[in-house]
Amino acid sequence: MIELYKLHWSHYVEKVRWALDFKQLPWRGIDIVAFTKKEMQRFNCTQTVPLIHDIATGVAISDSSPIIRYLDETYPEHALLPGDPLEREEAWQWMLRLDSTLGLHARRLGYTQLIMECPDTLSRLFMPKVAGGLFTRPVLRVLAAPVLGAMLTLRFRFHRNREDRVYEALESQLVPIAVQLERDGFLVGARFSAADITLASLLRPLRIVPHFADHPQLQSLFAWQERLFREHGRDGAFLYEELIKAQRERRGSMRGKVSWLRSVPTAAMPGEPAHLQVAHNDIHPVSRWTLLLGLPAYLKLRWFAGIGKVRYVPAAFHAG
């Protein structure tokens, strides 16, 4: 039995869940308190989510890509990494690069979209069991939203999305990937691998970001993701996807027009990626004192992000 310490909506956690299911390994999920991670503190490894504890071997390991490599080396049946050494290293580099770029940027823009459109969703994600679920009640959800939003804004720099050119970086990365998948079907070799799990899982937050979900050059990429979800029995939608969709249907609009964005020229596409040893992260420390500084940043993001309203139309890749 493998214990998976998780936040259910995390796209990095979904990546590990998918790998465990593909390899047909018995596992059970343990939901953690996002702010304290007290459930994980008994393990002598980095306290990041996801984390697995393999009861059979006693190993505890965190971070999604090292977890998958451990699972593949320890339980080789239903392999997720190619047997050919060159393809294996190529898949590993894809995983680390996507963890360090797509995963981080998609998280930033997914949370940004929630803050702009339905910030009271945050307490339903982060505080479902705190004080017996008290903060998931309608009035308290609204009161908790600025506090949670300010903390997340500082922790992940949502207020600097424009300065950090997050939209541009993602667009320049994903368009060539979409072209490759149209041609080859998989990221590495001629079969499904952990690199494909990584891409399909880490794309999930962008399904609620209209600039990407409706991007004409990325429709084939999201259709590829939808096909993998169906073939592998993955969840059709996470809670935050359902909540923001319901709100958009009620209002008939969504925040989708990025006023400052310009098309990324082909010359700006990234060159040969660097060889990575570990994935990067973008978490910044937040204390109770710096939290006050996050409130103006949160309010600016909420109301003055430069992302205007457009008519709500469901993304084309959801059809059928």
Q: Chain-wide mean pLDDT for the chain? A: 91
Alpha-carbon separation of residue 262 from 166, 178, 270, 277, 318 (angstroms): 12, 20, 17, 33, 26
pLDDT tens string 290-313: 778 888 999 999 999 899 999 999
Enter the DSSP assignment of 273.
P
Question: Which residues lie closer than 8 Å to 116 by C-beta, 6 or more apart?
Answer: 255, 301, 302, 305, 307
Q: In whole angstroms, how far apart are CA 163 and each of 158, 169, 305, 308? A: 10, 11, 12, 18
Distance from C-alpha of 70 to C-alpha of 59, rounded to nearest angstrom: 10
The mean pLDDT of 121-144, rounded to a whole number, is 83
Residue 320 confidence (pLDDT): 41
* Pick among 3.40.50.150, 3.10.310.30, 3.40.50.170, 3.40.30.10: CATH of 2-80: 3.40.30.10
Q: Domain coordinates of the chain in residue numbers?
A: 2-80, 99-318
What is the per-residue pLDDT across 156-214, written as a single tens digit (0 to 9) for each?
Answer: 999 999 999 999 999 999 999 999 999 999 999 999 999 999 999 999 999 999 999 99
What digits encode the pLDDT tens for the residues 36-70?
Answer: 788 998 998 888 899 999 999 999 999 999 999 99
Report whether 302 contacts 119 (CB < 8 A). Answer: yes
pTM of the predicted model, to two decimals?
Answer: 0.93
Question: Is the pLDDT score of 282 beyond 50?
Answer: yes
Q: What three-state secondary structure class fits 267?
A: helix
Residue type, 215: H
β pairing state of 60-62 and 253-258: unpaired
In the block, tokens 């995390």 appear at: 10
| Average pLDDT score over residue span 86-97 | 97
pLDDT per residue over 145-159, tens digit each?
A: 999 999 999 999 999
Q: Determine the Cα–Cα distance for residues 34 and 49; give it in Å rounded to an integer.
A: 9
